[in-house]
Amino acid sequence: MASLKDVALKAGVSPATVSRVINKSFLVEQQTKQKVIKAMEELGYSPNIMAQNLSKKENFLIGVIIQDICNPYFAGILKALENEIYDLGYNIIFLHSDSNLFKEKNCIKSIMKMRPDGIIITPIEWNSENILKLKNIDIPVVILTKIFEEFNGVAINHKEGGAQIARHFYDLGYDKIAYLGNNNDKFQGFQEELQFLNKKLYSYLEISLDKYDFKMAKFLVKEAIENYIKNNKELKFNAIFAENDILALELISVLKEFGKKVPEDIAVAGFDNSFFSEHFGITTVSQPINEISKLAVKILIDNIKNRNKVLERIELTPRLLPRNSTMILK
């Protein structure tokens, strides 16, 4: 593969001039520029970005680590981030942690090797070792979809989202209210609001974190329901909040398998407003993906350009989208 030196030789100029044509072409005379461009084309020259970055301070690279690219919600975030980032002239290094803490660790390691100007990450776990490690690096980091004490972050208020579902169930008169998922902020907000309304959580169907994976959702849901039935003989709750739309989707099919009608027998609500939830009429809480992404990039770039900025933690308000899975439409 042709190098800058080859181009210089072919064009009969110095390497520096070729470099100028690439980076600050306004500094070079029209005529020489044309010679150089011609040589580049003839050689099919493409600058070696590794070498470029080695000799520059800023390399216009932003690392993005996404948790589960098969989840349309995260795919949407990545796409929104891309749009923002490219517009600003930066490039993205995307890495996929695949909801796996070990892989996430490797993602962070890999990204650090590339010396990005900044990092945006949707972390798998609250306060995992992986994230703590990010505290001690000298590269700006923005955490997405979760808020951490000592990091920049953009997220919706998950507690409020959970609370919205609780109020929704309450308003509709459901009295045996369950939760399916992990013990997280959504769950906390859900539970606190129930308490505030003088209700108690009727059942907690746990999905253990370390096994959680998009492809396994169906299996996990089934397992959770079967466990519940083993312990309680039958499905006794009449409303259930699943921590995300994928779980909700799977839950609805599993409930059907067990002869339950949704929402007549059991109401189901999800979270995220993934693209399919509208089609399925799943009641959910919408996250403003574009706004989140836009803010994340803004904060990151601010931090890159202007170090030692104070941390920014922005919480956006989620919005309940009531649909058929909790309400019988007339």
Per CB under 8 A, residues contacting its own copies are: 1, 44, 46-54, 59, 69-70, 72, 75-76, 78-79, 82, 91, 93-96, 98, 109-110, 112-115, 136-138, 249, 252-253, 275-276, 279-280
Q: Which two tokens stand for residue 24?
A: 């600050």
Of 36 and 285, nearer to DNA (C-beta) is 36
Q: Which residue lies nearer to DNA by CB, 17 or 122?
A: 17
Nearer to its own copies, 204 or 275 (CB): 275
Query: Whole-number minimum distance, CB 66 to its own copies, in Å?
Result: 10
Apex 317 CA angle, 65 and 93, nearest 5? 15
Site track for DNA across 154-193, x = CB under 7 A: ----------------------------------------
Measured from the CB atom, the residue of 166 and 289 that comes closer to its own copies is 289
* Partner whose footprint covers residue 208, from its own copies, DNA, none (CB < 5 to 8 Å by kind): none
136's contact among DNA, its own copies, none, with CB below 5 to 8 A by partner kind, is its own copies
Q: Which is nearer to DNA, 57 or 307 (CB)?
A: 57
**Quick check: 141 and 82 in contact, CB under 8 A?**
no
5 binds, among DNA, its own copies, none (CB under 5 to 8 A by kind): DNA
Give one DSSP letter per residue of 147-205, joined into a string: --TTSEEEEE-HHHHHHHHHHHHHHTT--SEEEEE-SSHHHHHHHHHHHHTT----EEE
Query: Is the CB of 18 or the CB of 81 nearer to DNA?
Result: 18
Q: Of the two residues 53 and 183, which places its CB atom closer to DNA in the complex?
A: 53
**CB contact at 8 A, 245 and 270:** yes
CB contact at 8 A, 130 and 108: yes
CB contact at 8 A, 153 and 316: no
Does residue 289 belong to the site contacting DNA (CB under 7 A)?
Answer: no
Considering only residues 7 through 46, tell me which ones interact with DNA, judged by CB under 7 A: 12-20, 22-23, 27-29, 31-33, 45
Instruction: Rule CB under 7 A: say whether 48 interacts with DNA.
Output: yes
Query: Which of its own copies, DNA, none has residue 132 at its interface (CB below 5 to 8 Å by kind)?
Result: none
Residue 190 Cβ, how far from its own copies at the closest point, in Å?
25
* Residues 241-250 as b or e (16 or more Cβ within 10 Å = b): bbbbbbbbbb
Task: Specify the 3-state DSSP secondary structure of 22.
Answer: helix
Q: What is the C-alpha R_g of the chain?
A: 25
Compute the distance between CA of residue 85 and CA of residue 122 in angstroms, rounded to an integer: 16
Residue owning tokens 């609780």: 166
- The DSSP code for 91 is E
Q: Give yes or no for residue 59 binding DNA (CB under 7 A).
A: no
Distance between CA atoms of residues 170 and 263, nearest Å: 14
Distance CA 124, CA 257 (A): 31
Between 136 and 231, CB nearer to its own copies: 136
Minimal distance in Å, beta carbon 108 to DNA?
Answer: 17
Binding site for DNA (CB under 7 A): 1, 3-5, 12-20, 22-23, 27-29, 31-33, 45, 47-48, 51-52, 54-57
